[in-house]
């Protein structure tokens, strides 16, 4: 369903009224397109403190030209990784205060920090301060601008993350803190085609006959993957339509069926590079009115089958080294939601799974495990939500609008990227910095 308020707010009377009445003022978000992968304006590279990061070669790969002081920068990177004490934080203010007003609409601000040092509470305090700073600035900037914090020690390992966060692909990701590990797990047979980084790889997306899953399959196919479109047998026709359009294959299978994992492994004898657990259902009721079958079915589809399939595919060696698992959590699992005790429990469970499995999967199988946590995304599911609740869901975030399936898909594609091997165990919200669970 179209967001009419967003269109109205962009008209002259809409701008006047929203300003006078203090109403949310959403700006149309700039999203990625092949003919304009990054907007004009250039990238401004600032440093606070003394940094040991070698950023220049990595920033050159983002596609942005260096900012040449004319016009408005489209992207700003503030390297604050070297700040070790409270006094150093003054340099954060000094660096960004003069430029924050000039950042282009839909511009990107990325703050770089360091992991907290357990042996130095002054460094930890200063570095943690960057988190509150980033989240607050993300709430102030408006105009479709986003602000995110990346904690890193090795610039090269963070290249795919910086490319994503500094591009229009991250239009609905704001106020996030992402930790990037020190060592990039080299993915074998990495594609040298930067436009099709997943060329030669196979990606399976569950629940891909429609909605977010369809967008994920489309985006991974755009990036070169051969996609396997898995959905329930009742949705086989839609799954085939999606698979045919993307040159992939359809796999009609209920993910909760006995032996679903081994059946996937048998259907893909050459193995799998990317596994996206996207299938999910809601069966909302307050706990007091919730029958056991509603509880069971949601936990079964959203969590138990994810655990079983993951275990089966890892045990069968079906996920190749350098493989990627991306599971779908939700902000409901972070904030909680009335009427969704079952759904929120299942989605919080995904977060637990990711955090616990990530180090083992990487060490034992060379596979990363991450989650996306969507906020309010415009799909058939959210179009069915009653008007006032839908409006609240759309506006209660820093970008004052709902996200699109493509926003979750782009985030998944970044996590699935062969160069994202140092991103592991992360739960990345795609929620426009929703106030829920913030």
The mark string for 376-405 relative to ligand NAD (x by CB under 6 A, - otherwise) is xx-xxxx-----------------------
Among 255, 274, 400, 419, binds ligand NAD (CB under 6 A): 255
Q: Which pair of structure tokens corresponds to residue 251? A: 């796999």
Is residue 282 within 8 A of residue 332, CB to CB? The reply is no
Q: How far is the CB of 160 from ligand NAD (least distance, A)?
A: 23
**Cα–Cα distance, 75 to 87 (Å, whole number):** 26
- E-assigned strands of 84-239? 108-113, 146-151, 177-179, 202-206, 226-231
Among 417, 409, 426, residue whose Cα is nearest residue 213: 409
Residue whose CB is less far from ligand NAD, 181 or 211: 211
Is residue 410 within 8 A of residue 270, CB to CB? The reply is no
Phi-psi label, residue 425: left if phi above 0, alpha if psi -120 to 50, beta otherwise: left
The mark string for 212-251 relative to ligand NAD (x by CB under 6 A, - otherwise) is xx-----------------xx--x----------------
Burial per residue of 146-168, b for 16 or more beta-carbon CB atoms within 10 angstroms, e otherwise: bbbbbbbbbbbbbbbbbbbbbbb
Residue whose CB is less far from ligand NAD, 78 or 344: 344
Q: How far is the CB of 197 from ligand NAD (least distance, A)?
A: 23
Residue whose CB is less far from ligand NAD, 131 or 254: 254
Quickly list H helices, 229-365. 236-246, 260-267, 292-299, 305-315, 332-335, 341-365
Q: Is 67 a catalytic residue?
A: no
Which of 5, 67, 172, 343 is catalytic? The answer is: 343
Residue whose CB is less far from ligand NAD, 279 or 353: 279
The four Cα atoms 406, 184, 326, 340 give a dihedral, to 10 degrees, of: -90
**Cα–Cα distance, 193 to 391 (Å, whole number):** 42
Angle between helical axes of 89-96 and 121-140 (0-180°, round to 10)? 20
Residues 58-97 interacting with ligand NAD (rule: CB under 6 A): none
Candidate segments 9-17, 81-89, 150-158, 208-216, binder of ligand NAD by CB under 6 A: 208-216
Does an H or E element contain 370, and which?
Answer: strand 368-374
Report if residue 207 touches ligand NAD, rule: CB under 6 A: yes
Q: How far is the CB of 279 from ligand NAD (least distance, A)?
A: 4
**Cα–Cα distance, 73 to 44 (Å, whole number):** 6
Q: How far is the CB of 347 from ligand NAD (least distance, A)?
A: 7
Indicate the SS3 state at residue 10: coil
The mark string for 266-305 relative to ligand NAD (x by CB under 6 A, - otherwise) is ------------xxxx-------------------x----
Q: How far is the CB of 363 from ligand NAD (least distance, A)?
A: 27
Q: How far is the CB of 375 from ligand NAD (least distance, A)?
A: 6
Rounded to 5°, angle at Cα 419 from 172 and 217: 55
Residue whose CB is less far from ligand NAD, 159 or 301: 301
Is residue 226 within 8 A of residue 248, CB to CB? The reply is yes
Among 330, 370, 412, 433, binds ligand NAD (CB under 6 A): 330
Residue whose CB is less far from ligand NAD, 180 or 239: 239
Q: How far is the CB of 60 from ligand NAD (least distance, A)?
A: 35
Residue whose CB is less far from ligand NAD, 130 or 409: 409
**Cα–Cα distance, 80 to 55 (Å, whole number):** 12
Candidate segments 123-131, 143-151, 201-209, 219-227, binder of ligand NAD by CB under 6 A: 201-209
Q: Which residue has the tokens 């996609």?
A: 227
Helices (H), strands (E): how many in the chain? 16, 12
* # residues contacting ligand NAD (CB under 6 A): 27
Active site residues: 343
Binding site for ligand NAD (CB under 6 A): 206-207, 209-213, 231-232, 235, 254-256, 278-281, 301, 328, 330, 374, 376-377, 379-382
């Amino acid at each position: 369903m179209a967001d009419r308020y967003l269109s109205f707010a962009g008209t002259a009377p809409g701008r006047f009224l929203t300003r006078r009445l203090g109403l949310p003022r959403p700006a149309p978000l700039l999203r990625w397109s092949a003919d304009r992968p990054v907007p004009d304006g250039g990238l401004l590279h600032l440093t606070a403190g003394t940094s040991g990061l070698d950023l220049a070669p990595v920033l050159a790969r983002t596609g942005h030209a260096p900012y040449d002081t004319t016009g408005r920068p489209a992207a700003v990177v503030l390297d604050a990784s070297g700040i070790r004490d409270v006094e150093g934080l003054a340099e954060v203010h000094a660096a960004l205060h003069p430029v924050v007003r000039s950042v282009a609409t839909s511009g990107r601000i990325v703050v770089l920090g360091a992991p907290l040092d357990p042996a130095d509470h002054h460094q930890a305090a200063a570095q943690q301060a960057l988190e509150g700073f980033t989240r607050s600035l993300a709430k102030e900037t408006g105009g479709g601008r986003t602000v995110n914090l990346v904690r890193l020690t090795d610039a090269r390992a963070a290249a795919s993350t910086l490319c994503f966060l500094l591009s229009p692909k991250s239009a609905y990701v704001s106020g996030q803190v992402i930790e990037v590990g020190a060592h990039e797990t080299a993915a074998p047979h990495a594609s040298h085609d930067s436009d099709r980084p997943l060329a030669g790889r196979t990606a399976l997306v569950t629940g891909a006959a429609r909605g977010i899953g369809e967008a994920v399959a489309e985006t991974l196919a755009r990036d070169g993957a051969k996609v396997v479109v898995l959905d329930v047998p009742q949705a086989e026709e839609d799954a085939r339509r999606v698979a045919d359009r993307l040159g992939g294959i359809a796999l009609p299978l209920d993910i909760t069926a006995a032996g679903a994992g081994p059946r996937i492994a048998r259907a893909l004898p050459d193995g799998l590079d990317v596994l996206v657990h996207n299938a999910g259902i809601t069966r909302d009721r307050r706990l007091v009115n919730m029958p056991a079958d509603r509880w069971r079915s949601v936990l079964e589809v959203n969590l138990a089958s994810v655990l079983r399939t993951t275990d089966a595919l890892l045990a069968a060696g079906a996920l190749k080294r350098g493989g990627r698992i991306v599971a779908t959590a939700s902000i409901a699992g972070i904030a909680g939601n009335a009427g969704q005790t079952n759904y929120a429990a299942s989605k919080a469970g995904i977060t637990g799974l990711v955090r616990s499995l990530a180090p083992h999967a990487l060490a034992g199988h060379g596979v990363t495990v991450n989650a996306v946590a969507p906020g309010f995304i415009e799909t058939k599911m959210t179009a069915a939500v009653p008007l006032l609740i839908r409006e609240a869901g759309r506006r209660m975030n820093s970008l004052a609008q709902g996200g699109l399936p493509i926003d979750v898909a782009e985030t998944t594609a970044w996590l699935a990227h062969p160069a994202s091997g140092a991103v592991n165990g992360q739960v990345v919200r795609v929620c426009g910095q929703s106030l829920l669970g913030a």
